[in-house]
Amino acid sequence: MVEEITGDLLSEFVGEKNHPQDWNLKALEDAVFQQFKLRPNIANAKDLTSVDAIRSLIVENVRQYLRGKEKEFGPDLMTYLMKVIMLQAIDTHWKEHLLSMDHLREGIGLRGYGQKDPVREYQREGYAMFMEMIGRIKMDTLEKLCLVRIQREEEVEEIRQKQKQDYILSRGEDTPAHQTVKRETEKIGRNDPCPCGSGKKYKKCCGA
């Protein structure tokens, strides 16, 4: 995922065929910061004479940054956070994709006036839109994962408990039920003798 997003950024701001003098390294550095929330020293590095060197620098910096987060949170919590963030991104972007496909379907008939097959145009553009959605999901997931901060130990424990609960539910296990408190003594009727020993009925003594 890191390599794919880095490749997209390089294509936009550097380009495989552009001469180094034409590279917009400052804009690339800003884009990397916006995406990964870290700023590798790209613009001022003198040994970055190839696209591969820039790619390696960015990828290694991001991986090191994520390894630090994994060490801070623990591997299980890190995996859980990525899962939750990705599911949220999928839910958001999938809904947007379905809406875009509806708009495409409504307007695709006009392509026939341009001597184009509406069915093929729908399939071609629909596939392109789907791949764009996949890219946005990956970028959104990685961006939010890099933003995650847990300030207090209580927050860490809260997330871990939520993770444990989700695991239990995924296995179909029941959570521990509240134990029913049983009455230790028999229920006293209102017309029964009062247990205090007065000889009166319970309703006219302690049960009054």
Are 155 and 91 contained in the same domain? Answer: yes
Are 134 and 158 contained in the same domain? Answer: yes
- In sequence order, the β-bridge partners of residue 193 are 201
Are 65 and 82 contained in the same domain? Answer: no
For residue 88, what pLDDT is reported? 92
Amino acid at 43: A
For residue 184, what pLDDT is reported? 46
For residue 116, what pLDDT is reported? 74
Residue 111: half-sphere exposure toward Cβ, Cα within 13 Å: 15
For residue 104, what pLDDT is reported? 87
Alpha helices in the chain (DSSP H): 2-13, 25-36, 51-73, 75-107, 118-147, 153-170
Residue 58 lies in a domain: yes
Determine the 3-state secondary structure of 81 from DSSP. Answer: helix
The gap between the terminal CA atoms of the chain, to the nearest Å, is 75
Q: What is the CATH number of the domain that holds 86?
A: 1.10.3060.10
Structural domain including 65 reads: 1-73
Are 91 and 106 contained in the same domain? Answer: yes
Are 168 and 80 contained in the same domain? Answer: yes
Are 69 and 79 contained in the same domain? Answer: no
Asked whether the beta carbons of 152 and 145 are under 8 A apart, the reply is no
Asked whether the beta carbons of 81 and 73 are under 8 A apart, the reply is yes
For residue 195, what pLDDT is reported? 62
> Taking the chain (208 residues) in consecutive chunks of 10 residues, what is each chunk's mean pLDDT?
86 75 84 85 73 87 89 87 91 93 81 72 90 91 83 63 73 53 56 67 68
Given 44, 73, 102, the domain boundary residue is 73
